[in-house]
Structure formats: structure tokens, C-alpha cells
Amino acid sequence: MDKKLRIDLQRVPKHVAIIMDGNGRWAKSKGMSRIFGHRNALTAVRESVQAASNVKIEAITLYAFSTENWNRPKLEVDALMSLLINSLKKELPDFMKNGVKVNSIGAINALPKKAQKVLNDVISETSNNKKITLTFALSYGSREEIVNAIKNISKKVVNKELNLEKIDENIINNHLYTFNLPDVDLMIRTSGEQRISNFLLWQMAYAELYFTDILWPDFREEHFYDAIIEYQNRERRFGKTSEQITE
């Protein structure tokens, strides 16, 4: 039976986040450089976005480049930035055809100027697309995001633009990079690692976590459906009891 047909379209997650892990190990297993692994990861991105769109998921966020990744060898960082630029240009026609709205989160001003321009151009071009929102987390770190939110909220309190007693979860949400996205319902991480690596810490408060041994360049549409099926087999209680959920 087609795995897609096993998915209840009324109970799909609104927002899926993916930590795309394993490019380097995949390349090493083939006697190639890490850059070779990054280049061969694009099919996994394409198929995951298509799978998410097929089952009516509203948003998918990909952890493309963390703040810590700037510490990698310069050759690898430069190759990743070049790959980002070329991939966005190449995929733009398909984004338009498939109704993909591109978004980004993170310290985007830390990216090379050319990468910033291409990214902003693609975001602008796709801004009216409505089928699915594809967010790239670039130069992103969740702790930094939360620190920035606290600073911005504090400034408003000091300037009497915001009453201290009015600060709640909604106020904090509205000061995060993801203010225009729903909370994460499902987080997928490939390659067998089982940690969240400073990714969307606030937004994943109640997310279901799904870990797979598949290395990212080998991840395909059917594997994405496996994660959704597993998600739908879990009971999401949000602090309630099973009996309360049943009622």
C-alpha cells in the first residue's frame, strides 16, 4: 500500500522541522569530501518539500546552516554558501510552479552579500505563493534568537512601549524569527543522532521528535511519510491524561 494513502490528512502536523544530518558521513562512506555530501543532499530537500506539500502540511523548516557552522573549515563554508546561491536560483521556477513560499530565519546579515541578495530575491518572488511555506534556518541558533527577543522586549519595557505585566507567551512568540509560523509539531533528524542541537528550542516545546538512522542524502519522500505515520500513531497529550484526550 502506498504510504501516502495511510496518512490521515485531517491529522497532519502543521509545521515540520528537519535537522538534515549526515552529509559528511555519507560522503566519507563513498571516499569523497564533505562538500560532495552537501551537493548530493538537494534531492532529499526537494523530495521532503514535495512530500510535505502532498499531504497538505502548511510549513516545513530546514536547519540549513547553524551559527556554530561558521567554525567549520573556510573551504566548506564557502562551498555551502555557493551551493545555497546556486540552489535557490535553480529551484526558483519549481517554487513558483508548486506554490512554495520561501522564508528564512537566523542572522541573515551574517551571510555573504551575494547570498543575502539571492535569498531576498527568492523570498520576494515567492511571497504570494500559498501552498506551503519553506523556511531555511541560516546562521541560526535558537539561544541567540531567544536572547535577541529578550533584548527587544526589554527595550520596549524601558521605553514604556510595553507594560512588564503584559509579557506572556504571545509577546515572546511575536519577537522570535518564527513569529509568522505555527509552533513545530514534528521534528525529524536524520543520521541516527538524537539531539536537537540548538534548533527551535522555544518552538519545539511540545513537538514530537522523530529520529532515523538514514543519512540525509539518502532521505526520500517515502521516509518523510514514515515520519508522518509515526507521528499519527503517537498520542499528543499537552500535559493532559489519556482519558482527557479521549473525552
Residues with a catalytic annotation lie at 21, 69
Is 11 among the annotated ligand-binding positions?
A: no
Binding residue per annotation — 72?
yes
**216 assigned to a ligand binding site:** no
CA 182, distance to chain mean position in Å, is 12
Residue 147: phi and psi, rounded to 5, are -60, -45
Is 66 within any annotated ligand binding site? yes
How far CA 61 is from CA of 20, 103, 118, 158, 177, in Å, comes to: 10, 9, 19, 34, 12
197 annotated among ligand-binding-site residues:
yes
Residues 6 or more apart whose CB falls under 8 angstroms from that of 217 comprise: 22, 23, 26, 27, 37, 40, 41, 43, 44
34 labelled as ligand-binding? yes
Name the DSSP class of 100: E
Confirm or deny that 6 is annotated as ligand binding. Answer: no
Question: Does the annotation place 67 within a ligand binding site?
Answer: yes
Contact between 107 and 140 (Cβ < 8 Å): yes
Answer yes or no: is 53 a known binding residue: no
Sign of CA dihedral 30, 34, 40, 43: positive
Residue 61: closest CA among 30, 113, 94, 16: 16
User: Is 202 a known ligand-binding residue?
Assistant: no
For residue 193 the three cell numbers come to 543522532
Residue 213: CA count within 13 A, CB half-sphere: 0
For 194-221, b/e burial (b = at least 16 CB within 10 A) is eebebbbebbbeebbebbbebbbbbbbb
241 annotated among ligand-binding-site residues: no
Q: For residue 208, say whether it is annotated as part of any ligand binding site.
A: yes
38 labelled binding-site residue:
yes
Annotated binding site for substrate, which residues?
22-26, 34, 38, 66-68, 70, 72, 189, 195-197
Annotated binding site for Mg(2+), which residues?
21, 208
Annotated binding site, which residues?
21-26, 34, 38, 66-68, 70, 72, 189, 195-197, 208
